[in-house]
Amino acid sequence: MLKAVIIDFDGVIVDTEVIWFEIFNEWFKNNWNYDLTIEEFLICVGSHSKELLNRLENEHNIIIDKNKFNKETSQKFIDESKNLPLKQGVLEFIKSIKNENILLALATSASRKKPITHLIRLNIIQYFDVIVTSEDVDKIKPHPDLFNKAIQKLGIKTEETIIIEDSVNGLLAGNKAGINTIVCTNDVTKYSKFENFFIKVDSLEKVDLKNIIKKYDESSEIYANR
C-alpha cells in the first residue's frame, strides 16, 4: 500500500535548475572566459557544486575558491528566484496526495533556509508532514541518507513509499534507498541519461496518482498471499 510520497524541491516544485545553470554559466564566463556546458552542470544537479568544481579543476586546471563561488552564486540565486512560481501541476499533485490521506515529505540536498522560504512564500508548507534537508544528514544525494531519514521520520517502510525526483543524483539516491522513483524532468535535466526508474515524465500533470496507488495495492495483495 502506498503510504507516503517523498518529493525533491529544486527542479520539481519550482524551476530553479534553469536559473542555476544560467548563473553558473555567467559566472564562469565572466571569471574564467569558460563556456560551461549543460553536461558539465548536470554533474552537480541534485547534489553539491563541489563535484563540478573538482571536475573543472582536474580536467581544465580551473582552480576556484569554493567559498567565494558559493557565496556569489547563492546570493544571485536568491535575487533571481524570489518570485519563481510553482511548476505546472505541482499544487494539484500535492492536493491529490493529501486527498488520498497519503503522507508527504520533502527531501532536498539544499540547506533548510531556501526550501522553507519558498514553501512559505508559495503557501504550500502546510501540506508537508516531514521536511529533510542537508542539515539533517551526513551525506546528500547521490547517497541515500536524505531518503532514509525521511522514511525514519515518516515511520513507514521503503516499499510503502514513492519518490519524485528530477536529477540523476536524486534517482541514484532513491535506488540506493530501495524506493521506487518517478523521474520528472525539466528543461535542464531532460538532457540527462536516466536508468532504472519507476516512471519518467516531463510534468507532474502526467503522474497518475490513482494508478500508482492501485499498483501498490496490487503489490501488497500479492505479497500478502505468498
- Same domain flag for 77 and 93: no
225 pLDDT above the threshold of 70: no
Query: Three-class SS of residue 142?
Result: coil
Other C-beta atoms within 10 Å of 183: how many? 26
User: With contact defined as beta carbons under 8 Å apart, do 17 and 186 qualify?
Assistant: yes
194 pLDDT above the threshold of 60: yes
Helical residues (DSSP H) of the chain, grouped into ranges: 16-32, 38-41, 49-60, 66-81, 90-99, 113-121, 145-154, 168-177, 209-224
226 pLDDT above the threshold of 60: no
* Tens of pLDDT, residues 95-152: 999 999 999 999 999 889 889 999 999 999 999 999 999 999 999 999 999 999 999 9
Instruction: Report phi then psi at 184, rounded to 5.
Output: -120, 100
- Same domain flag for 202 and 160: yes
- Same domain flag for 101 and 59: no
187 pLDDT above the threshold of 60: yes
- Same domain flag for 76 and 94: no
Q: What is the pTM of this model?
A: 0.87
* Tens of pLDDT, residues 140-151: 999 999 999 999
- Same domain flag for 113 and 157: yes
For 139-149, give one letter per residue: b (16+ CB within 10 A) or e.
Answer: ebbbbbbbbbb
Query: Which of 81, 100, 123 finishes a domain?
Result: 81
Structural domain harbouring 181 = 4-15+85-224
- Same domain flag for 71 and 135: no
* Tens of pLDDT, residues 5-25: 999 999 999 998 889 999 999
For the segment 173-187, the average pLDDT, to the nearest whole number, is 96
Q: How far apart are CA 173 and CA 33, in angstroms?
A: 34
For the segment 159-178, the average pLDDT, to the nearest whole number, is 96
| Residue 221 pLDDT | 54
- Same domain flag for 213 and 105: yes
Instruction: Report the domain count for the chain.
Output: 2
Question: Which CATH number does the domain housing residue 199 bear?
Answer: 3.40.50.1000
| Residue 220 pLDDT | 61
223 pLDDT above the threshold of 90: no
In angstroms, what is the C-alpha Rg of the chain? 18
